[in-house]
Chain A
Amino acid sequence: MLTSTGTSRLGWLAGSVLLLVAAAVSGVLSRHEAQISLGDYYHYQCPTGTGESATGPALRILSVIPTHAADIADQLCRAPAIAQHFASVKVSWKPRTLLSTADLVNQRYDVIWNRQHFLTGLMPDFNDHYDTLLHYDNYSVFWLSLNSPPRLTAEYFQGKRIGLLADDSSHTHNLLPLTSLHSVEALGENYTPVYFDNAGALYDSFYRGQIDLITGGLNLVNDTPVYRTLVDNSATAATFFVPQQLDDPAQRCEIVSALRILTQLWQGIETHQNLGDSSTAVACP
């Protein structure tokens, strides 16, 4: 009835339609789903090698920055006094703003690096439950500028863009610069505060000249020459707290020893250590 060319053309058309349908079916049948759940990336954990390992408790250290987290944990994992009681050591640098009252009350951390006033704010009787293990003070904080030596006068800060960290618990990048500005009666409307979510971005903007002034310590990552003016030479650099239950001097000594890895961050500043009640105080080697 149809000519052979007509039939074959139609056959091709119908065939193509069928093939498309088959490809669609094949495609639907071939679909795969991928499932993955990511944990947090602000901790490092090592086993102490006690044998009972995974089931035992972990020594939990709450740091502020990831710097040397692995070194501190690894040193503690090798310490026999720690291995006796703990199956593993976990150093966390959970953002300090995420620390909660429940964390403190339930003693979810065995070592906490934070500001005294911030912790007391979360838990008013903090000092009844936690001891100060190690305290770095006489930390010097400076106004830093790439362009001119900062002067502590209201006129100097006039019209300046000042970089701050959007974190009320930060001394160096929030509390101290605001206090300094207040003390010279530089009013909020005369300078421009620029807030940053993380310290890396704060420093980057400073070195790129997008902001005029920031505050910082003596040691800077970047070698670019900067003008410095002292803001405070008796700032507290860092304080480490331990729950009073963790009262074994040998363990405390191991922890102090491991935390000294951080000392290079604050060269030339004083440390004070407290290993427990005066009655049980033992000097570490």
Chain B
Amino acid sequence: MTAAVRIAVAADRSLLRRTLSRQFLLRWLMCTVLLSVLSAAMALGSATTELRHSLAAQLPPRLAESLQFSFVSSAETIALVSEALNRDLASLTVTGQTGLLQNCHAGLQQLLASAAAPSPLSHPGASPWSGLLPVSTSLDVDWSHGDYTETASFQLQCQLHAPRLLGINAALALLVLLGMISLPVSLSQRLPWLLLGLKRHGYTLGGLRQALAIAVSPATLRFDHQRHAVCIHGVTLSLPKTPYFYYAWYAGLRLERETQGWVLNPATDRPDRASASTLIELMTSAGGHQKAINDLAEHGLRAKILDQNRNKVKDELCRELGDTLAAGYLFESERDARTARYRYRLVCPPTRIRLLKQAPTSIDHPA
């Protein structure tokens, strides 16, 4: 194992593991086959179309001048012309950037419906496998003779360079699958916000513009104490006053480094006086309900009230954003080993939390 591989394994073991899984290899094979079939069809199809255009442009005037005085369009004349045409068809060159098609030959099947094939193309006999697959198509070109429209039929035979075909498409398929694993993370994160924005603002052009603004908005959680509103990923939600302050209180504590945002629930029989005073301070400074402030001052912070308000925040966010999107901005919990009580904090990391204490004017339109 080389150092580079070891580093790669260390850097992203899961990627490598997923890359080498049987499911991945199966998908790779399917993608390769699908792309190869498309690619082969495109190669032969484009060559056929080009040949048809070229013949349709050149053949009718050539035949018109050749058969102008042939009121006896005898089999003899048709045979002469067919032979000469077949000789010219031998000069066909088919070229492509990737050279998927090799050894192309075109042959005249019949010049007009009543004339038999002059000399059908000989199929290359069975030869040892050389990586070249024989493929062929037929094409028709109309030309006019007197008042009649005749149809000349041609066949195009080529050999498909199978190793090149599979190689190119296997590489493309690999890029697709690696892209599917790694690239669309940001897309898959932003798309639900776009859909949410459309749902909120309507499926109109204006709605789409606002939805796009939401989709490209940074994934931040902003608090506006003036309006008791939060702005989540560009979506502004007004919350009832009291739950709003509890939410903001948790957000403020989330910024504290030493606790990492964890807040231990008070014991049911012993309300938390210290926490109550910081909440009272917050509510008083930003127009909280007097009743809630009095309650806190009188009883301290009780576990029941704290649970109630967290649940209210959760209900509001889930109602507005849906469970999936709300989850990133709600609470996580764990049991405290020492007290056996639960402690809670916001899921949202401190780097994405913005507390605006002054009245902001641009909260609806985050930069």
Contact = CB atoms under 8 A, between A and B. Distances in A.
Contact of A221 (B38, B72, B146): B72
A246 interface: no
Contact of B176 (A19, A38, A196, A203): A19
B50 A201 contact: no
Interface stretch (B78-86, B112-120, B256-264): B78-86
Nearest to A13: B191
Interface string B150-192: 0000001000000000001100110110011001100111011
Interface residues of A, number: 57
A33 B65 contact: no
Nearest to A97: B68
A127 interface: no
B55 A36 contact: yes
A74 B54 CA distance: 33
A203 B88 CA distance: 31
Given A34-B54, A200-B67, A204-B147, A41 B84 contact: yes
Given A2-B324, A22-B35, A32-B47, A44 B96 contact: no
A280 interface: no
B80 A70 contact: yes
A237 to B, nearest CB: 14
A27 B39 contact: yes
Given A23-B38, A32-B96, A14 B188 contact: yes
Interface string B135-152: 000000000011110000
Given A3-B324, A6-B324, A33 B47 contact: yes
A30 B96 CA distance: 7
Main DSSP-derived SS at the B contact region: helix
Given A31-B46, A36-B55, A1 B84 contact: no
Given A1-B328, A42-B66, A26 B91 contact: no
Contact of A35 (B54, B66, B77): B54
B94 A33 contact: yes
B96 A33 contact: yes
Contacts of A203: 71
A25 interface: yes
A2 B30 CA distance: 28
Contacts of A39: 62, 84, 88
A44 B84 CA distance: 8
Nearest to A204: B146
B67 A10 contact: no
B91 A40 contact: no
Contacts of A94: 65
Nearest to B69: A65
B33 interface: no
A14 B190 CA distance: 12
Interface string A127-171: 000000000000000000000000000000000000000000000
A84 B170 CA distance: 63
Given A30-B40, A70-B76, A36 B65 contact: no
Nearest to A43: B84
A221 B91 contact: no
Contacts of B88: 36-39
B260 to A, nearest CB: 19
A283 interface: no
25 contacts: A1-B328, A10-B188, A11-B188, A14-B179, A18-B184, A22-B173, A29-B39, A32-B47, A32-B101, A34-B48, A34-B51, A35-B94, A36-B88, A37-B91, A39-B84, A40-B66, A41-B63, A65-B72, A66-B70, A69-B77, A95-B68, A198-B71, A200-B70, A204-B148, A205-B147
Given A11-B180, A43-B84, 8 more contacts: A26-B169, A34-B50, A37-B91, A66-B77, A66-B80, A66-B81, A198-B146, A204-B148
Instruction: Name the 10 nearest CB pairs between A and B, nearest first.
Output: A201-B146, A14-B184, A32-B96, A199-B71, A41-B66, A10-B188, A34-B50, A34-B51, A30-B42, A32-B47
Interface of A: 1-3, 6-7, 10-11, 13-15, 18-19, 21-23, 25-27, 29-44, 64-70, 93-96, 98, 196-205, 221
Interface of B: 31, 34-35, 38-40, 42-44, 46-48, 50-51, 54-55, 58-59, 62-74, 76-77, 80-81, 84-85, 88-89, 91-98, 100-101, 104, 106, 145-148, 156, 168-169, 172-173, 175-176, 179-180, 183-184, 187-189, 191-192, 323-324, 327-328
